[in-house]
Amino acid sequence: MDSGLRSITDWLRGVLAGWMGRDAERPILGSLSATDLGVVLFYVGITLCCCAGVAVYLRHRSKHAAATGGSAAELHPHVISAIGKPLYALIIVYGVYVAATPILLKLRPEQGSTAARGLLNALFETGALIALFWLLFRATYVVQARLAAWPLATASQIDDLLAPLIGTILRVCIIVVAVILALPLLQLPPAAESVVDKLTSISLIVGLSILLVRAVTIGKRLVLNRFDISAEDNLRARQVYTQINLISRIIYVGIGFFAVAATLMLFQEVRHVGTSLLASAGIVGIIAGFAAQKTLANVFAGFQIALAQPVRQDDVVIVEGEWGRIEEITLSFIVVKIWDERRLVVPLSYFIEKPFQNWTRSSAELMGSVFIWVDYNFPVEQGRVALQGIIESSSLWDRRFWNLQVSDASEKTLQLRILATASNSSRSWDLRCEIREKFLAFIQQSHPESLPRIRMDIPAAELPP
């Protein structure tokens, strides 16, 4: 115990004894006298006054900042919220320590005064350390709030993403340093210290893993924010989205795997189990190879899809006879959103091992075809002129190419094939439907006799009278 604090306590006891008279030194609560209780109450009052003074000062500073305006008015509430409670806790910890001094001075060595003083010192040091790091921990939110206001003045999105990450890193570092410094002060038994040490190591591994995951997520968002997958020409965006999503998920799995492995290696029992398993690694490897054959195939297929990109996010594909778009690519399967809102879930290995149609592999532009069957007397040239007006007046046509040809002839009808280009598969489908409707309406109105018909040659003798 500090000699200066002991001297102040003795001086206060003398002042109170002179003011209260001889009876002040008479024990009234165990070995504690009225002067001892008076000194305790004096220290408690000083502590409460300090807390009240700090509260008044902080409130005054907050009002002054609000009246001044500017950036200080926005930052000051965060500062008050951050330092207020930890500062009160620090004052109370020190006040309790000081208020316990008169009580400890009355204890004799045979009453455990040495142990009590050691315990009080340890509690004081631990409490003060906790309050101090609590103050630093809450101060990180002030730093983060300040960093969050800084990107508003810039157009870059990097600042918006890095500000939360910096705050998280500071908080994790403060927690780790606080735990490392607090452990020696607690003076725990060896068994308890071993448990706490393992818990600290596990917390450090978990915190580091969270920081790595956050960093990967921020890097992913930084890259993806540069590409708009909802744009009309989104080929490059789909390529980047597919690669980044797959690679980031693989990194997440790797971080989780190494975090679990590092945690298990902290326990000696797990190390012995691992050593014994290595003796039978050949048999275990064979069994695991057969058991995880499909899983490993999907993992390697994921790497192939990320690099070669036979399919990408938002690609239009024909899979198992179904038309749809690639909605989600995971580490084990791909979800295809079919045109009627159904979902087709396909393993990753399917897109490596089996053929499928990708309508947006190199471009979203498509050429659609429409087949019309007409009678032999249909004037093809007039139909071509009418078709030109239908296609060129449509907003769905991309102005690249169109054509009308007689593609087949049977014993009954002619087959007309109409070709027209569009910017993507959805517009191509709508364009084909529009051409079919309007061209059939033209035939019905202008050449109804050219609709498909069945001819019969009946001799005049067989006609009814």
- Note whether 250 and 108 are same-domain residues: no
Q: In a structure prediction context, what are the per-residue pLDDT tens digits for the chain, which is 465 residues long?
A: 456 667 777 777 777 766 766 666 666 666 667 777 777 788 788 888 888 887 777 777 767 666 665 544 455 555 666 667 777 777 777 777 777 777 766 665 545 555 656 666 666 666 677 777 777 777 776 666 666 665 555 555 555 666 666 666 777 776 667 666 666 665 666 666 677 777 777 877 887 888 788 888 888 887 887 777 777 667 677 777 877 887 888 888 888 888 887 787 777 766 555 445 444 545 445 555 554 556 666 667 777 777 778 888 888 999 998 999 998 888 788 999 998 989 999 988 888 888 899 888 888 888 999 999 999 999 999 999 999 999 999 999 999 999 999 999 988 899 999 999 998 888 999 999 999 999 999 999 999 999 888 777 777 666 666
Residue 129 inside a domain? The answer is: yes
The pLDDT tens digits for 130-171 are 777 777 777 776 666 666 665 555 555 555 666 666 666 777
Q: Give me the pLDDT at residue 437, please.
A: 95
Nearest to 229 by CA among 360, 356, 355: 360
Q: Give me the pLDDT at residue 281, please.
A: 47
- Note whether 147 and 262 are same-domain residues: no
Residue 442 inside a domain? The answer is: yes
Q: Give me the pLDDT at residue 186, please.
A: 59
- Note whether 180 and 249 are same-domain residues: no
- Note whether 149 and 43 are same-domain residues: yes
H or E element at residue 184: helix 158-186
Residue 149 inside a domain? The answer is: yes
Q: H helices of 2-112, where?
A: 3-20, 34-68, 71-99, 101-106
Collapsing DSSP states into helix, strand and coil, what is residue 366? strand
Alpha-carbon span 61 to 141, nearest angstrom = 19
Range of the domain at 401: 366-450
Residue 302 inside a domain? The answer is: yes
Q: Give me the pLDDT at residue 383, please.
A: 93
Q: Give me the pLDDT at residue 43, please.
A: 78
- Note whether 46 and 167 are same-domain residues: yes
Q: Give me the pLDDT at residue 199, please.
A: 77
Residue 223 inside a domain? The answer is: no
Contact 430, 391 (CB under 8 A): no
Residue 455 inside a domain? The answer is: no
Last residue of a domain, one of 334, 358, 382: 358
- Note whether 291 and 379 are same-domain residues: no
- Note whether 84 and 154 are same-domain residues: yes
- Note whether 335 and 370 are same-domain residues: no
Nearest to 126 by CA among 196, 74, 178, 59: 178
Handedness of CA 90, 96, 99, 104 (dihedral sign): negative
> What totals of helices (H) and strands (E) does the chain contain, helices first?
14, 10
Burial 351-380, CB ≥16 within 10 A → b, else e: bbeeeeebbbeeebbbebebebebbeebee
Burial class (CB in 10 A: 0-12, 13-18, 19+), 104: middle
Number of domains in the chain: 3
- Note whether 243 and 354 are same-domain residues: yes
Contact 34, 24 (CB under 8 A): yes
- Note whether 260 and 371 are same-domain residues: no
Last residue of a domain, one of 358, 375, 406: 358
Collapsing DSSP states into helix, strand and coil, what is residue 359? coil
Q: Where are any strands of DSSP class E within 124-204?
A: none
CA dihedral 300, 305, 307, 312 (to 10 degrees): -160
Q: What is each CA distance from 461 to 236, 454, 455, in whole angstroms? A: 74, 21, 18
Question: Which CATH number characterizes residue 239's domain?
Answer: 2.30.30.60
CA dihedral 28, 29, 34, 38 (to 10 degrees): -160
Q: Give me the pLDDT at residue 184, please.
A: 65
- Note whether 177 and 159 are same-domain residues: yes
Alpha-carbon span 242 to 225, nearest angstrom = 14
Question: Which CATH number characterizes residue 421's domain?
Answer: 3.30.70.100
Residue 308 inside a domain? The answer is: yes
For 387, the token pair is 């078709």
Residue 68 inside a domain? The answer is: yes
Nearest to 1 by CA among 133, 90, 104: 104
Q: What is each CA distance from 146 to 136, 180, 352, in whole angstroms? A: 15, 28, 50
Q: How many residues does the chain have?
A: 465
Last residue of a domain, one of 310, 326, 358: 358
- Note whether 302 and 420 are same-domain residues: no
